[in-house]
Amino acid sequence: MITKKNSRSNQAVGKFIRMSPIKVQRVLRQISGCSYEEALILLKFLPYRACQPVSKVLKSAAANAMNNANISKENLIVSEAIVGRGPILKRARPRAKGRIFQIFKYTSHIRIILKDKRS
């Protein structure tokens, strides 16, 4: 009996990451389409702060693929790397003459989907 491997088991999501989605997208564009090992090497040497949470989500997706679909890490490719906008934290900054300006602190939801090279 042949069972079709579900791509939902080969994904991981990191939610409420305290970083702008634009900054995370810059890193995700670099790793989409790469193999798992290439993506880890890229994330290790890219000079962006967003690499650390992206690396965590990538490792989690690989662990999910190994555990749920029995795919080894050597056969994994980053098929989709998506960032979504999370809730915006609003803070106030006091200004002159009793006024207040708002400060927006952006959050991101990172989703990485891996697929098997052989299929």
Give domain status of residue 3, yes or no: no
Looking at residue 73, which CATH number applies to its domain?
A: 3.90.470.10
What's the domain count of the chain? 1
Angle between helices 21-31 and 51-69 (to 10 degrees): 50
Distance CA 87, CA 2 (A): 42
Quick check: is 40 in a domain? Answer: yes
In a domain, 105, yes or no: yes
Give per-residue pLDDT as tens, 12-46: 999 999 999 999 999 999 999 999 999 999 999 99
Question: Is residue 15 in a domain?
Answer: yes
Residue 2 lies in a domain: no
pLDDT of 117 reads 86
Range of the domain at 51: 8-116
Q: Would you say residue 81 lies in a domain?
A: yes
**pLDDT value of position 6:** 56
24 domain residue, yes or no: yes
